[in-house]
Amino acid sequence: MPFDIHLFETLPSTNQILWNLLDQGAKPGTVVIASEQTSGRGQWGRQWYSTSGGLYLSVAIAPNLPAHQAYQLTMSSAWGIATALRDRGIPVWLKWPNDLVVAQRKLGGILTETKVHQGRITKAVVGVGINWTNSVPESGINLQSWHNQVETTITSLEMLAAVTLIGIAAGNQYLERIELLLSSYEKLLINMNRSICIDGRCGTIVGVTASGELRVRFCSTIDVNSVADPEICFQPGLISLGYS
């Protein structure tokens, strides 16, 4: 994917500026990077604290996917970025549905936004925030503190941006190979095979569906002779998982 990169010091939101550029005729591969965001957004409308020192990046793609497969954009980008970082010495894992995790703390997150025409996604913006030297909450980690423990090949914010774009481009290659994408995504999922209790019922996380739902297998309490335990899928946003 060729990239057309636009750099800014301070923006309200890299996603919003990129949508503005797309409305003005910008093409897939257009990238917006800001040193700081004043109105950064995370999933479910949450505020993303985007102080100076972090990577705040958005890239435009044209996936031409069915609308119901929109979450594959987030999963492919998350897997691609995590893999690119792991290739360079940073043991990144994924927390369902969209967090990058190092040492059981949040390193970054992904916010994907789409536009749909006649049931298909015609335009999409993948927004990424990764902690580099910026301050983070107790549940977070930045790569500067990680570098103090382990040496990696990523030595600058510019290199981190390049690796992130490489990861997104690599992840996009999996969009039409959903079985391979799910298998690769689940291998990096820290939540796999973890126990979870929901509304008084305990089960085990066993995977993710093609539409991004979390698969939980509950112990059967109705039929003791049942061969298979009942499995329920939960949409993103319905339940919250921890980092450990």
Domain encompassing residue 207 = 195-234
Residue 18 near residue 43, CB atoms below 8 Å? no
Q: Which pLDDT band, with edges at 50, 70 and 90, does 241 fall under?
A: confident
Q: What is the mean pLDDT of residues 183-207?
A: 93
Whether 172 and 199 share a structural domain: no
Whether 116 and 213 share a structural domain: no
> What pLDDT is recorded for position 100?
97
Whether 180 and 225 share a structural domain: no
Structure tokens at 60: 């435009």
User: In this predicted model, what pLDDT tens digit does every residue of 14-49 receive, in sequence order?
Assistant: 999 999 999 999 999 999 999 999 876 655 456 656
CATH number at residue 110: 3.30.930.10
Q: Are strands 65-66 and 201-208 parallel, antiparallel or unpaired?
A: unpaired
Residue 78 near residue 98, CB atoms below 8 Å? yes
In a domain, 240, yes or no: no
Q: What is the mean pLDDT of residues 177-191?
A: 94
Residue 95 near residue 191, CB atoms below 8 Å? yes
Whether 143 and 216 share a structural domain: no
Number of domains in the chain: 2
DSSP string, 103-163: TTEEEEEEEEEEEEETTEEEEEEEEEEE-SSS---TTB--HHHHHTTS--S--SHHHHHHH
Residue 152 has pLDDT above 60, yes or no: yes
